[in-house]
Structure 1
């Protein structure tokens, strides 16, 4: 590979003249922005143990009332990006959010897309665009870009969920902002039941209702889990027992930038994933799994989370020989495909 000239090789007066006109020579930095063969990865394999995180999150509930926090969240930050950047990867933000009984997190809307993966507790709900979505462990709830949403809690135990947002990308493009709003009127509940039968969706042919960009906002874990078990039973030779969270009317990804799926590892199963361009997040819904990220190994128990950089092979192993393990996955695949940079390496 040809060696390029360095910035310090240029005369000082020439460098000063460039700076005075806001000019920068490309060649000294060319290899940094266009490295040979593989991107320069800042995202590191990183693990967040729920056992260690949970007491700190509950302590935050004691130290900071919801009125002072608006959203009481501990951010799962990747040290490769710097903890102050609050990024799990270049495009993924993760946070563990706590809502205590009787609390209400006020309505707002924002440009980043968000999903909530419910980790523990019951009695809480999210109202999105007038639809009240009850929260149960393992449920996935969408709060897409531009839709009003708020969180409330009518139960008697702490409720915790994992927030996954495309905030780093939206912030980078200088399009990240929010608006505050008032409490919403609930116009529907359990609307996901309209899409509970495969191949059948509500028909708008004889109605005047406008088409919703996000017709399904809540994906109950009970149904996703049943779908995985059925897939494993009816297709025993399938390479990976995995279901994607999609728009039920179009079959496309349920949101525009990040992709979401649920994976079941059969008892004793080991699954080797190829190196792909998108970074991935693994969150343990049920069971226990080993995750090997190109030699960096983590053991995930229920509610643990880890992140794998892109262009890196990953091996997943069910640590139980008798029970299945269920993993929620978030990744950057939709974004990479839209940009035309999606890649799989053998």
Structure 2
């Protein structure tokens, strides 16, 4: 007995010393369904805004470069660098009047959904894009970008990035510049997006839009209002890259949805994670059996494979903006969805 124990211990010690990993010791906890240590969680805008305004008072922009308050999932392990979900970062960013956040670029793809304020802008690869409440803006991977505020009052927006995913791939790279970008005169959107074309010389390279207007998305929802709707999301539209017909970015898709008054959607789960931001109205979601109430400005993270449904028990519309990692999960051949029994 002693000899056998000693031989076993010696065997495993030799494996460790020579950098081997026996598979039979690594399979614990694995099973037929995807799972995560992260949990569903909601960040209340009332509290987050108060903390952001405190940051504006105590943290000079030159010390922070960008005042960004990240939403860290409470299920994160102490040593785990994560965001709202395993692969998606969510945060609020504040820019005060007269401030300019200097240019930088990074490998994570980023989006902005404007929550509050007016008079701010972003410059992306030399194109200046004004920011208005409800706008959905893109900063694709490795695009130079800076932000400025020429209006009055605070400017706050929701940041969404795939940075947790890029970090896990050890591909997170960032470049910074002290000089502001020269702003080239932007070409008309119908031209650069391929709706019109010049007839001489080489064709112009098409580019996707850097901003999607809330009014356009709301018009689409209104057009679809009287239809049956999606059983899990009610009336929902996806923001698209018109040059490819696909999602807005390689790893991130984005949506605007209307939960009509009195609607209770069906429950389902899927292998992609989702971050929801409440644009207007109020309601609640049932996530893993837990009722989570939400109202304008709140941000809700639902990590992968948690069963969830959405409900509007009011007499007013509820509009949700959301973004997901579905394009990345689909590209890996791992996307699955299951409705509740």
TM-score with structure 1 setting the length: 0.90
Paired position in structure 1 for 2:330: 337
Q: Counterpart of 2:225 in 1: which secondary structure?
A: helix
Give how far 1:247 is off: 0.6
Q: Supply the RMSD in Å over aligned alpha carbons.
A: 2.1
The 8 Å contact of residues 228 and 242 in structure 1, kept in 2 or not, is answered as yes
Give how far 1:186 is off: 1.7
Of 265, 268, 284, 1:271 maps to: 265
Q: Flag as ranges the 4+ runs of structure 1 deviating above 6 A.
A: none
The 8 Å contact of residues 289 and 299 in structure 1, kept in 2 or not, is answered as yes
1:1-346 equivalence runs, <5 A = 11-32=8-29, 35-82=30-77, 85-181=81-177, 182-189=179-186, 191-192=188-189, 201-203=195-197, 206=200, 208=202, 210-212=204-206, 214-233=207-226, 236-239=227-230, 240-321=234-315, 323-346=316-339
Give how far 1:263 is off: 0.4
Aligned-partner Cα distance in 2 for 1:123–1:268: 37
Aligned-partner Cα distance in 1 for 2:305–2:6: 34
The 8 Å contact of residues 129 and 211 in structure 2, kept in 1 or not, is answered as yes
Moved more, 308-317 or 91-100: 308-317
For structure 1, the residue ranges without an aligned partner over 5 or more in a row are: 1-7
Aligned-partner Cα distance in 1 for 2:184–2:243: 21
After superposition, give the CA deviation of every residue in 1:176-198 in whole Å (9 maximum; x if it has no partner): 111113311222458546589xx
Q: Counterpart of 1:185 in 2: which secondary structure?
A: coil
Give how far 1:273 is off: 4.4
The 8 Å contact of residues 75 and 86 in structure 1, kept in 2 or not, is answered as no
After superposition, give the CA deviation of every residue in 1:213-257 in whole Å (9 maximum; x if it has no partner): x42010011211121112214xx2233311111111221101000
Aligned-partner Cα distance in 2 for 1:191–1:46: 41
Aligned-partner Cα distance in 1 for 2:192–2:223: 18
For structure 2, the residue ranges without an aligned partner over 5 or more in a row are: none
Give how far 1:13 is off: 2.3
Give how far 1:18 is off: 1.4
The 8 Å contact of residues 93 and 168 in structure 1, kept in 2 or not, is answered as yes
Give how far 1:68 is off: 0.8
TM-score with structure 2 setting the length: 0.91
Give how far 1:209 is off: 5.5
Provide closer, same or farther for how the CA distance between residues 195 and 220 of structure 1 changes in structure 2, counting only shifts above 3 A: farther
Q: Counterpart of 1:30 in 2: which secondary structure?
A: coil
Provide closer, same or farther for how the CA distance between residues 207 and 54 of structure 1 changes in structure 2, counting only shifts above 3 A: farther
Aligned-partner Cα distance in 2 for 1:92–1:284: 17
Give how far 1:318 is off: 1.6
For these two proteins, the number of residue pairs brought into alignment is 330
Q: Counterpart of 2:330 in 1: which secondary structure?
A: helix
